[in-house]
Structure 1
Amino acid sequence: MNDSIEYDPQTEAFMLCAVFSEPSRIWEVRQIVREGDFAVPRAAALYSLMCEVADGGGTVSPITVNDRRIASGRTHEFDANYPHEVNGLEARGYQAMQYAEIVRRHGERRKLHEASIAISSIAASGDAEGDIVEKAAGIIANLRDDVLRQSRPIGSVFGELVEEMRSQTPFTSTPWPSLNAMMGGVRPGALYTVAARSGGGKSIFGLQLAMHMAELGKRVGYVSLEMSEKDLLKRMISMMQGIHQSALLHHQLTEQGWASVRAAEKAIQKLNLEVYDRPGAHWEDITGFARALHRKGDLGLIVIDYLGLIPSGPKSVSRQQDLNDWANAGKQLARELDCSVLILEQLNRNATNRPNPRPIITDLRGSSGLENASDGVILMHRGEKKIGGRVVKTSDVDFILAKTRQGEEATRTLRFEGQYARIVQKEHEDTALMEPGEV
C-alpha cells in the first residue's frame, strides 16, 4: 500500500495569496479550512498567524503576519521572506474559496489515509483486552469532528423543518401523564438530569423510563455503575409484575410468583434494552457503548446511573472540571446520536439542614455544568413524617422541574412504590395536569 497521499503544495500557497489579495476573505476561508488541513508545515503556520492577526482586529498582510510571528516567538516556523513570496503569486481574492475547497478536500483525504493506517495497526495488534471496534470507531469519530463545513443561510433548511413538523412528534412521552403535562416528554438531542438524595428513587425513575421507551420500540442503553445487570432484572420483574422486592431479593417466591417471573421474562426478552454494568467504567467507555448502540439503529435513550460514580482519569486536573466536561460531553453525545441522554446524579446533603429541605438546583452534587448543559433538570424530593415516634419517608415524591428550555418551572407529585421498584401516577391528582401558561 502507498504510504503517502499526493497533494499539490502550490494550491495551499495560492489560497494564502488569495487571502493576502483580499484580506476579508479570511473569514470565509476559516469556515471550511483548519490548520490541520495543510500538508506543508510552513503554510499551516502562516495560515495560523493570518487567523491570529484577523482575530486581533488587524488587516492580514505579509507585514502584519511577520510582526505577529515575531511577537509570538514563532520565528522558527518560517523565514520573513515566505509571506512575501506567497503574496507574489498570481491569485485573486475571488479565488480564495475555490482554493480553500481543494485544500480541505486534500486534507480530508490525507487524514483519512492516516486514520486507515492507525486502524490497520489496531487490527494487526491483536489487542485481546480492549474493544478494537470501538477504538477504530473513536478514530473515525475524531476525524469527523475535525472537519469543518461552510455555513448556509438558515432559510435553506425550512423545507426540511416543515417535513419534520408534518411527519414527526417532537417528544416521546414518559410513563407519567403528570410529567408529560409539565415537560412534554423527552426529546431527541436533549440532555436531561434527574437528581435525588441517596435512596431517593432516581435509579428507579431511570430504569422505569428506560423500560417504557423500549416498550415503545426504541433502542435503549442503560449504564449502571452501581447495580449489576441481574439486580436491574430483579427490579424490572418487580416493576412489571408487582412482586415485592424482598421476595425477589431473598429468592422466596410462591408458585404464582414464579409464574409471574416467567411472564416477565418473555416480555423483557422482546425489549431492545441493553445494559452496560462494568464497575469503574470511564467516560470513554460509556460513549463507546452509546455509539455502538447507535450503529444498531433507532437509538432513543441513554441512561447514565449515575454521574458521580465515573472515575477521573490519570490526567485529571480536578474533579469539578471532570464533572463539567462530562456534562457538556453528555449534551454533545445527545446531539451527535440524535437521542435523549438522561444523567442521574445525587443531591448534596446540606439541604437537609435548611428550614425547608426541598431541594433547589444549586444542590446538584459537584457540578454547575449539569445545570448549564441540561435541557431539563428534575429534582426528586420525598417528604418525611413521624409515625410512632419514628421518622419515615412519605409515599409522595415531588418532581421539581428546576430548569427547562421548553416551558416553565413547575412541580408534580407522584407516588413512590418502593416495594415494587416503581413510581406511579397518583390515583387522585392533587395538582392540575395543565397549569395556565404550560405547554
Structure 2
Amino acid sequence: MTDTLDRADPVTVFYDHGAEQVVLGAMLRDPLVIGEVEAIVSAGSFHKPCHPLLFEAITYLREKGRKTDPTSVAGYLADEKLLTRMPGGVLYLDELLEAVPVGAPVGEATYYARTVADKALLRDFDAGLEKARNDIRSGAASNPASLLERTRVMISDLGMRAAGDGGPKRWRDIIRPGLDAIELAAEEGSGPPGIPTGIPDLDRLIHGLQKQRLYVVAGIPGGGKSTLGAGDFVRSAAFEHACATGVWSMEMTEQELFNRLICAAARVPSDKVTDGTLDTDDWTAIARVCGQTEDAPLWIDDTKGLTMADIRVRARRLKQQHGLELVVIDYLGLIESASSAPRNQQIDEMARSAKNLAGELDLAVVLLAQMNRAYAQRADKRPVLTDLKESGGIEAHADVVIFVHRDEQFDKTKRLGEADLIVEKNRGGARGTVEVAAQLHLNRFVSMAMP
C-alpha cells in the first residue's frame, strides 16, 4: 500500500524529491558516503514520506556494523514491517540507485545533501513564521516582546544551521584551534582569561568572568550579593577594564545603583550621600571619579517587571551596537514570568534562559539570587548548593556559584568586617573560599591578600 505523495517527484521551493533520491541512492551504493551525508542532513531533512524511513534504516544498520546494500536494507525494512511504506516495495530501492549519476564522486552526494538541507531549512523557516502569524492573529501573543524573542531565537537557530554551525566536529579539526587557545593563554601571562572581578584571589580561583558562562552570586538579604555582583564586578569590568557592561536592576533604582557605584569608587561612605552630609573632600573625590568614568561602557536598566525575554532583547541590542561583554541581573527572584507553571519550574526556565543568553551572545552573565534563610538555623552556617532558593534549576545551569557569607550576620562578635566568598560550584575548576574585607559602608569588598 503506497501513499499518493510517494508517486510524485516534484521540485518546489520547499522540497526536491529528486535530490533526496540521489542522496539515498548514493548511500545505498557506497557505504563511505553515509558518514559524509550524515554530517549534513538528518531524517527530518527529507520531505517525501518514505525517505526519512530509508535514511534511518541505512544509518541504523551502519551504526550496528551491518551491511547497507539494497538487499540488506530491504531485509531490515521487511523485518520491521516498513517495506510496504516504500512506493513499489523493494523495486523502489533500485529506482534510487538509478537516480545516482554514473561514477558520481562523494562530492556529488554531499552537493545534493546540501540541497536537501536547504529545502528543509526553508520549510522550517516558513513554519516558524506561520506560527508567529497565527499567534498574532489569534490573540495568543499577549506579550509582544516574548513573541519577538521566540521568533528571533527561531531565526538565530536557523541561521546557525544555514552557516553550518554546531554539530559534531572531528578531533583533527579541533586540534589546531585548541593549541592556539593554549598558546594565547601562555602569551598573555598569568592574568585571568575572563573579565577581572576586582578581587585577585577570586580571579585566581574562577579565572575571571568568562564568555559563555553563567555566574550565580547568592546570599541572604543584606549579605552583600548586590555589593559583589552589581558593584565590585561592574566597577572592575566597566570602570577599570573598559569592558562593555549591562546591568538590569529590578531591585534598586538607577539612582540607588549610581550612589553605590560612585561611593565605592570614590571611597565615600554611602550614609553621607543618604544623609546629605558630604564635605568638600567627599565632593572632590566624587567629581574626580565622575570625570574618570564619564566614558565608561556601562549601561543601567532599572525597568521593573521585566521577563528574561525582555532582557534578552535589550541585551542583544547592546551587543549589536556596543559589543556587550558582561550582563548582570539583580536579581533572579524579581524576574517576571509569563508561565503559569509552579515557581520552581519558572526559576529553572529563567536560569536556563540566562545560561542560553551567555552562549548566544558570547558574553558572561552574572545572575544574583537569594538563599533560603533556613540554613541560618543549622549549627554549621556554611552555605551549600541546596540553600539556594528554589535551587534545582539554578545549580544545574550555573557554571559557577559564589555564596557571600558573613559570620557577623549570625553572631555580632565574630569576624567583624570580614566575609567569605564561597565558590561552591566551579565547572572545570576547584572549589574554594576567598576571605575579603567587607567594607559595606563603602559598598565594596576588598581582597585581604597581598597583591
What range is the shorter-chain TM-score in?
A: 0.7 to 0.9
- Checking the alignment, whether the CA contact within 8 Å between 2:211 and 2:358 is kept in structure 1 is yes
TM-score by length of 1: 0.77
What is residue 374 of structure 1 aligned with on the other side? 398
Q: In the TM superposition, what are the counterparts of 1:213-252 in structure 2 within 5 Å?
A: 213-215=237-239, 216-252=241-277
User: C-alpha distance in 1, partners of 2:183/2:322?
Assistant: 22
CA distance in 2, matches of 1:249, 1:24: 74
Residue equivalent to 1:399:
421
Q: Take 1:385 and 1:321, find their aligned partners in 2: how far apart are those partners?
A: 31
Task: Tell me: CA distance 1:304–1:82, structure 2 relative to 1, closer, same or farther (3 Å).
Answer: farther
What percentage of aligned pairs have identical amino acids? Answer: 27
Instruction: Measure, in 2, the Cα distance between the counterparts of 1:204 and 1:423.
Output: 7
Give the aligned residue type for 1:418: L
Query: What 5-or-longer segments of structure 2 have no aligned partner?
Result: 1-11, 136-140
In the alignment, is residue 140 of structure 1 matched against residue 160 of structure 2? no
Alpha-carbon spacing, 1:356–1:134, altered in 2? closer, same or farther (3 Å): closer
Per-residue deviation, 1:232: 1.0
Query: Counterpart of 1:186 in structure 2: which amino acid?
Result: L
What is the Cα deviation at residue 369 of structure 1? 3.3
CA distance, structure 2, for counterparts of residue 296 and residue 69 of structure 1: 57
Shift of 1:275: 2.0
Deviation at 1:184, TM superposition (A): 2.7
* Equivalent residues of 1:173, 1:185 under 8 A apart: yes
Query: Which amino acid in 1 is paired with 2:221?
Result: S
Structure 2 Cα separation of the partners of residues 332 and 324 of structure 1: 12
After the TM superposition, which residues 287-366 of structure 1 pair with which residues of structure 2 at under 5 Å, given as runs?
Answer: 287-314=312-339, 316=341, 318-366=342-390
Please tell me whether the aligned partners of residues 24 and 55 of structure 2 are also in contact (alpha carbons under 8 angstroms): no
Report if aligned partners of 1:49, 1:69 keep a CA contact under 8 Å in 2.
no
Shift of 1:278: 2.3
How far apart are residue 351 of structure 1 and its match? 0.9
Q: 1:28-427, aligned counterparts within 5 Å?
A: 28-35=36-43, 37-38=45-46, 40=47, 42=49, 46=53, 50=57, 61=73, 64=76, 79-81=85-87, 84=90, 86-88=92-94, 89=96, 90-91=98-99, 96-108=109-121, 137-146=152-161, 151-167=168-184, 169=188, 170-207=193-230, 208-215=232-239, 216-314=241-339, 316=341, 318-384=342-408, 394-426=416-448
Contact kept, 8 Å, 1:376 with 1:403, in 2: the verdict is yes
What is the CA–CA distance in structure 2 between the aligned matches of 1:334 and 1:83, rounded to whole Å? Answer: 50
**Residue identity in the other structure for 2:447:** Q
Contact 1:320 1:366 (8 Å CA) reproduced:
yes
Residue in 1 aligned with 2:4?
none
Q: CA deviation at 1:358?
A: 1.4
Deviates more, 1:402-411 or 1:165-174: 165-174
The CA deviation at 1:136 is 6.5
Q: CA deviation at 1:193?
A: 1.8
Distance in 2 of aligned mates of 1:398 and 1:301: 24
Amino acid at match of 2:93: N
Return the offset for 1:357.
Answer: 0.9
Contact 1:17 1:86 (C-alpha < 8 Å) held by counterparts: no
**What are the superposed Cα offsets for residues 159-217 of structure 1, whole Å, 9 maximum, x if unpaired?**
33344444454233221122123333222222222211111111111122022111212
State whether residues 395 and 416 of structure 1, in contact with CA within 8 Å, keep that contact through their aligned partners in structure 2: yes
Give a deviation string over 1:378-405, Cα, whole Å, max 9, x none: 2111002799xx7798321101121223
Aligned match of 1:436? none
CA distance in 1, matches of 2:196, 2:392: 27
Equivalent-residue separation in structure 1 for 2:212 and 2:245 (angstroms): 14
Contact 1:197–1:347 (Cα < 8 Å) also in 2: yes
Deviation per CA, 1:329-380: give whole Å up to 9, x if none.
4333323322222222111211111111111222122133333333322211
Q: Aligned with 2:40: secondary structure?
A: coil
Q: Which sections of structure 1, spanning at least 5 residues, go unmatched?
A: 434-439
What is the aligned counterpart of 1:12 among 14, 20, 29?
20
* 8 Å Cα contact 1:224-1:277 kept in structure 2: yes
* CA 87–249 in structure 1, closer or farther in 2 if over 3 Å, else same: farther
136-145 or 399-408: bigger deviation:
136-145
Between structures 1 and 2, the one with greater helix share: 2
Output the CA distance in 1 between the equivalents of 2:81 and 2:210.
48
In structure 1, C-alpha distance between the alignment counterparts of 2:215 and 2:313, rounded to whole Å: 20
Q: Name the TM-score, length of structure 2 as normaliser.
A: 0.76
- C-alpha deviation, 1:133, in angstroms: 8.1
Structure 1 vs Structure 2 CA RMSD: 4.0
